[in-house]
Amino acid sequence: MRTDPVSRQGGFSSSRLKRPDAWSLGVPLIAAILALPVLVIFAHVFIPASDVWLHLRQTVLQDYVTNSLILMVGVGVGVLLIGIPTAWLVSMCDFPGRRLFEWALLLPLAMPAYIIAYTYTGMLDFAGPVQTQLREWTGWGWGDYWFPQIRSLPGAIIMLSLVLYPYVYLLSRAAFLEQSICVLEVSRTLGAGPWAGFHRVALPLARPAIITGLSLALMETLADYGTVQYFGIPTFTTGIFRTWFGLGDPGAAAQLAGIMMTFVLVLIVLERYSRRRARFHHTSARYSRLPRYRLRGVHLAGALVVCALPIVLGFVIPSAQLLQWALRTPHMWMQPEFLVLVWNSVSLAAIAAVLAVALALVLAYGKRLRPSLPVNAAVRVAGMGYAIPGTVIAVGVMLPFAWIDNTIDGWMRDAFGISTGLILSGTLVALVFSYCVRFLAVSLQTVEAGLAKIKPSMDDAARSLGTPPRQVLSKIHMPIMRGSLLTALLLVFVDVLKELPATLILRPFNFNTLAVRAFELASDERLADSASAALAIVLAGIIPVILISRTISRSRPGHDSPA
């Protein structure tokens, strides 16, 4: 009797594994829906130019391109100069306070760029405490002295560098911790001192991780709206917002977003190209306590200054100023309206976080269950949303959702004489969907890392006993991955809490969040009144920062025991 060939993988034949099912069809479908905003933006690039677009091209487009490029170059240099030395010092050197700096250097990550911009503006402007005290000490008046202008392009570069360097620090530190001890020991036996070992051995080995962190920081720079808008710097994000709401031309805004997307794609290509060409291999599987350089004298003083300065400038001073303002304006956080803002922000962030993690579970487990080329490609496409600025995603969401609303409303009017109004584009549906598109990658990477730690033999054993894939995920994988799922929930929760441009564009009428309220009050120069909302966002971001630091500390096998 003739039998079909059978490939034993959990007791299932190869023909059954290749047969399309809900997982192999559902994952590409979910990815296609999540990719809809990006596809809409690209489609508008080929639409004939309108008068508004021609006007933008002749007047302000060059300023958008120039300022965006200068901002990216400046922030890129800034985050590298801060992130790499601090990562090397806390990873490879031994000095008092090192363990404190390990996690404290991540604290500026909890400070949104637009909040630190408002804070330093309030402190350094002409009417701020710094210049006021300077005039009291010297007796100078207006025009008698020169003081750096915080509301400028260099000021924006400094503000963004102070809060985005943790991307480079985080990945550089992880790369330094994961390097083989044999490579470092061999470099020492060949006479390489600390500096030579750093720039000849450790830095080249960590280059892929450094470039990845730099790419993330530059993507966040392109995505920033609050800082550049408050400082009056014309960039792509401010241009898209003004074109949409000021000039009333969604098509021209989408075409601006399409050009902005080319910047993002270039960053993605460069990052992947760098990793593709990198071929670094560990020379030994032996990991033990890292041979740290003990610092003394001037080297110790220099390390303390290098590590402490970013924390003081990027977190301590802004947080102290926000706390002072919040205590001076108790009417802002003691009134019922503030509780409504907190509820709106927390509930919206919780809903988006749960949906993003649920989608990440489906996509990651579908990829594990059906590792075919279409499924793998679909998961990668779905995870690209984090590289897309919130302004671009908001435009890409609003256009198709508004078309769907108008189509349904027109059909209901013609058929039944009833107006359905705005079902999608005027409700929280559009906003939550944009959050899922924007931050799915955060949860997807965390969930995939958690799944990778579960041996495939556990899947095979469960399925050989007749357990369907859905129950394998819910009864076996999810309990094991509780830590990863909680981390993913917290990370997305805080990212949504801080998101500003997408919320500004897509929020329903009379619906405010902490981020929007802080932005509105600061834009009206009510900096002290904005402190309560801003401080609440910062406090919410500290917990994930600590979790990230603990995860990195345990990323090295045989990580250091407490000293």
Residue 357 lies in a domain: yes
The pLDDT score that the predictor gives to residue 115 is 92
Residue 393 parent element (H or E): helix 390-416
Residue 557's pLDDT band (cuts 50, 70, 90): very low
Q: Which residue has the higher pLDDT, 522 or 281?
A: 522
Lowest mean pLDDT among 195-209, 240-254, 273-287: 273-287
User: Of 490, 464, 467, 466, which is closest to residue 477 (Cα–Cα)?
Assistant: 467
Check pLDDT > 70 for residue 156: yes
Mean pLDDT over all residues of the chain?
80
Can you list the positions of beta strands (E) in 171-305?
Answer: 293-294
What is the pLDDT, as a whole number, of residue 194? 58
Residue 201 DSSP code: I
Residue 190 falls inside a structural domain:
yes
Amino acid 493: pLDDT: 87
Of the chain, the percentage scoring pLDDT greater than 90 comes to: 18
pLDDT, average across residues 138-143:
82
pLDDT in the model for residue 290: 54
Q: Is 9 helix (H, G, I), strand (E, B) or coil?
A: strand
* CATH code assigned at 404: 1.10.3720.10
Average pLDDT over residues 164-177: 84
How far, in Å, CA of 92 to CA of 172, rounded? 12
**Which range (105-119, 165-179, 452-466, 515-529) has the least confidence?**
452-466
pLDDT, tens digit, 9 for 90 and up, residues 400-411: 888 888 898 888
413 domain-assigned: yes
What is the reported pLDDT for 167?
A: 86
pTM as predicted: 0.81
What is the mean predicted confidence (pLDDT) over 44-70? Answer: 84
421 within some domain:
yes
Give pLDDT, residue 309.
95
Q: What is the CA radius of gyration of the chain?
A: 26
Its domain, for residue 501, covers 22-553
Which tens digits make up the pLDDT trace of 416-428?
888 887 788 878 8
Q: Which pLDDT does position 561 carry in this prediction?
A: 39
Better-predicted residue by pLDDT, 311 or 52: 311
39 vs 301, higher pLDDT:
301
The string of pLDDT tens digits covering residues 21-30 is 677 788 888 8
For residues 59-66, give the mean pLDDT. 90
What is the pLDDT at residue 196? 56
* Range picked from 160-169, 279-288, 383-392 for highest mean pLDDT: 160-169
Whether 527 maps to a domain, the answer reads yes
* Residue 545 to residue 500: CA distance in whole angstroms: 20
User: How high is the pLDDT of residue 63?
Assistant: 92
Q: How far, in Å, CA of 270 to CA of 72, rounded?
A: 14
With respect to residue 11, please indicate whether it lies within any of the assigned structural domains. Answer: no
How much is the pLDDT for 431? Answer: 92
Calculate helix-pair angle for 36-44, 22-34, nearest 10 degrees.
Answer: 50
What is the pLDDT, as a whole number, of residue 192? Answer: 54
Q: Flag the least confident range among 38-52, 228-242, 501-515.
A: 38-52
Answer yes or no: is 201 within a domain.
yes
Distance, CA of 309 to CA of 85 (rounded, Å): 12
Res. 366: pLDDT tops 80 = yes
Question: 143-157, 439-453, 462-476: lowest mean pLDDT where?
Answer: 462-476
Domain count, the chain: 1
Mean pLDDT of 309-337: 90
Task: Report the pLDDT value the prediction gives residue 198, as an integer from 0 to 100.
Answer: 60
Retrieve residue 408's tokens.
């349904």
Phi, psi of 293, rounded to the nearest 5 degrees: -85, 125
Evaluate whether residue 562 is within a structural domain: no
* pLDDT of amino acid 333: 81
Q: What is the pLDDT of residue 563?
A: 38
> Could you report the per-residue pLDDT of 265-322, keeping only the tens digit for each?
777 777 666 655 554 444 444 444 556 778 888 888 999 999 999 999 999 999 999 9
